[in-house]
Chain A
Amino acid sequence: MLILGIESSCDETSASVVKAENGRFEVLSNVVSSQIKLHQPFGGVVPELAAREHLRNILPVVEEALECGAAGDDGGGEEGRGDGRGGAQQKIKLEQIDALAVTVGPGLMPALMIGVETAKALAFVWQKPLYAVNHMEAHVYANWIDAKIEFPAVGLIISGGHTELVLIKGAGKYKLLGQTLDDAAGECFDKVAKMLKIGYPGGPLIEKTALTGNPAAYKFPRPLLDQDNFNFSFSGLKTSVLYFLQRTFPEVMGTGQGANGDEARIDPQKLSDICASFQQAVFDVLIQKTLRAAKKYKVRQILLAGGVAANRTLRGKMTEAVEECKNGNTGRNGKGSKAQKIELIYPELKYCTDNAAMVAVAGYFEALRMGTPMPRLASGSGVPSLRSGGNKSGGWSKIKVDSQLDIT
């Protein structure tokens, strides 16, 4: 079956056509139009601007996803507004699309609305079923694109707005093990980057600056690491970095500007060391808590998801930690426990950050969950069934989003 996914929860407008067969996926197109440059001067996503930009981009992006889909072009990655490859190809016909899936939250309300309204309109005009997808779930489903998922698995979802550890017992069967009690991991990166005046978005910039730094140069706290639960807290870490900077570099931190109006700067090597040490503090907590959960629930796989999972340093360190764990070296709280076979899975970089391919995959599972009869890949004139299982109104599912923008 072919699914058209649509995503507009934050600052990327994305559409993707995914071919799903027996739980295996082929991404035919994944077009992402990023607005990062637009929001950079504000140090964060401005909802008004985002909504306007989504509105401008959504139809061209959908159009292009359909065109690239037929050419088997996957949209050309991050900035990927078509690179002309296979442009002469016929585009996917709408009869070939079996269903639509759209992110309904969590996210920025004005931004979400553009994607949701577009998807509803297309579904209505095309008379295709539409599935509502939770953005965080979709991030987890990004792992299904290239890997075979085995259960139980533990998923670490880390992004600008979220830090959650979930136990996954099957597609769509989750248990929240823990979450951040204050700031999300990605938000902490953004705020620390702001204090260090290295720009926005913080994650990739801190990672880059940290490459030449020594992660043991400075000691920052590892919040909640010693607590026997799976919760996180990053607000305090952010504050302690701030105090450290105020103590160590008063001329830089003072009022933001030097006496004669010039901005004082931290020495580049020290800056790298601070970034590396800060990053290490965040990763230590994320990795150790995830491994603890993996052991406690005897999972077979650890899945990384969300924008922060795009951080290569984190992937590397997590891989090392999982290897150690496999070899039976369980670190300081191991009581000679048996080696456990755990596999670490993470999506390709382009499926870590916001994208619609993951939304389409999540839509497929949502369709399965709702017991929709799976239409075969439309061949020629075969018009897929419009009725979907648990729904009264022909494929329409009523979307309810609560005040936290979670689906209720």
Chain B
Amino acid sequence: MKIYKTKSEKETLELGRRLAETMRGGEVVALRGDLGAGKTVLARGIARGLGIKKPITSPTFVLMKIYPVKGHGKIKNLVHVDAYRLEGGASAETIGIADYVGRADTVCLIEWAKRIKDCLPKNIWQVDLKAGETEDERVVEVKK
């Protein structure tokens, strides 16, 4: 497990970019943290690291967003999921998440992953975001 401290939104974004560089495809990342903890920012950083230029907008409404990835080896898709309103793997299957999870050409970022844990592989990345000492600081724990 690695613990990172970021002092600003910019640094959280940069951390995401660096995490993206270590990805090879097939990663499933559970992003954990309260409202406002910076899950969106970290997701945007990872997307930038994978060369995605489109805005990474919240997946809350449509539950899952898919972004094509180019020029990063085997990685062809980034999938961003908000599982808050899902219950169990069956519902994850209905909206098509299960088609992408663990696929070698796909990186999945999943918020509220515990709600669909029965359709996730065992070895997933756990990323916990917590508030730091000041409002702009974040403590990010990464367990691979």
Contact = CB atoms under 8 A, between A and B. Distances in A.
B66 interface: yes
A108 B61 CA distance: 8
Interface in B92-144: 94-96, 135
B112 to A, nearest CB: 11
Nearest to B90: A48
Interface string B61-75: 111111100000000
Interface in A25-77: 42-48, 51
Contact of B58 (A109, A187, A243, A403): A187
Given A42-B85, A47-B91, A195-B35, A187 B62 contact: no
Contacts of B58: 182-184, 187, 235
Contacts of B96: 109
A255 B24 CA distance: 38
Most chain B CB within a 10 A radius of its CB, from A51, A180, A182, A231: A182
A191 B35 contact: yes
Interface in B35-62: 35-36, 40-41, 44, 55-58, 60-62
Given A47-B94, A109-B95, A182-B55, A404 B65 contact: yes
Contacts of B57: 179-184
B135 to A, nearest CB: 5
Contacts of A109: 62, 94-96
B12 to A, nearest CB: 12
Contacts of A195: 35
A238 B36 contact: yes
Contacts of A48: 86-87, 91, 94
Interface string A213-240: 0000000000000000001000100110
Please report whether the interface of chain B is mostly helix, strand, loop or mixed according to DSSP: loop
A242 interface: yes
Contact of A47 (B36, B60, B63): B63
Contacts of A187: 58, 60-61
B4 interface: no
Interface residues of B, number: 26
A110 B62 CA distance: 10
Most chain B CB within a 10 A radius of its CB, from A47, A160, A162, A403: A403
A77 to B, nearest CB: 25
B130 to A, nearest CB: 13
Most chain A CB within a 10 A radius of its CB, from B35, B61, B64: B61
Given A45-B85, A47-B95, A243 B135 contact: yes
A154 B140 CA distance: 42
Interface in A148-199: 160-162, 179-184, 187, 191, 194-195
Nearest to A161: B61
A107 interface: yes
A5 interface: no
A202 interface: no
B106 to A, nearest CB: 12
A163 B87 CA distance: 28
Contacts of A194: 35
Nearest to A42: B85
Given A109-B95, A238-B36, 18 more contacts: A42-B85, A46-B85, A47-B86, A47-B91, A48-B91, A108-B95, A161-B62, A179-B55, A180-B57, A181-B57, A182-B55, A183-B40, A184-B57, A187-B58, A187-B61, A231-B55, A239-B36, A404-B62
Interface of B: 35-36, 40-41, 44, 55-58, 60-67, 84-87, 91, 94-96, 135
16 contacts: A44-B85, A45-B85, A47-B91, A48-B94, A106-B62, A107-B62, A108-B63, A179-B55, A179-B57, A180-B55, A180-B57, A181-B55, A182-B44, A182-B58, A231-B55, A243-B135
